[in-house]
Amino acid sequence: AIQMTQSPSSLSASVGDRVTITCRANQGIRNDLGWYQQKPGKAPKLLIYAASSLQSGVPSRFSGSRSGTDFTLTISSLQPEDFATYYCLQDYNYPFTFGQGTKLEIK
């Protein structure tokens, strides 16, 4: 199974900050990666698919990029509603695998 190593596991930031979260795959997965936001007690919400495509209805402050097997989620200017846990998911092959998650907290 493909391993997705996500970092950092937690992050403290302030409203207005620019933050980046990274997932590294242990083999090539093309652009077959998505990013999700999860708030406590809720289902995950798809933000980005195909590494850099913004899901419909998601604010443009969210963006995704890829460099080789490294994938980055960037939030350009944190808003209060962005404090949540973020996960990556590779859909290159089965079994699909998630990163361990990054908890984004208010500083």
Partner 1 sequence: QLQLQESGPGLVKPSETLPLTCTVSGGSISSSSYYWGWIRQPPGKGLEWIGTINYSGSTYSNPSLKSRVNISVDTSKNQFSLKLSSVTAADTAVYFCARRPVGLDQFDYWGQGTLVTVSS
Instruction: Give the interface with partner 1 as residue ranges (CB under 8 A).
Output: 1, 32, 34, 36, 38, 42-46, 49-50, 55, 87, 89, 91, 94-101
CB atoms within 10 A of CB 99: 25
CA distance linking residue 67 with residue 58, whole number of Å: 23
Q: Which residues pair with 6 in a beta bridge?
A: 23
Kindly tell me which of 16 and 57 has the beta carbon lying closer to partner 1: 57
Kindly tell me which of 11 and 46 has the beta carbon lying closer to partner 1: 46
Shortest distance (Å) from residue 107 CB to partner 1: 22
Shortest distance (Å) from residue 83 CB to partner 1: 17
- 16 touches 77 (CB < 8 A): yes
Shortest distance (Å) from residue 77 CB to partner 1: 24
Q: Which of 103, 105, 88, 102 is nearest to 3 (CA)?
A: 88
How far from each other are the two terminal CA atoms of the chain, in whole angstroms?
A: 36
Shortest distance (Å) from residue 26 CB to partner 1: 16
Kindly tell me which of 1 and 15 has the beta carbon lying closer to partner 1: 1
Kindly tell me which of 6 and 69 has the beta carbon lying closer to partner 1: 6
Q: Which of 68, 2, 65 is nearest to 30 (CA)?
A: 68
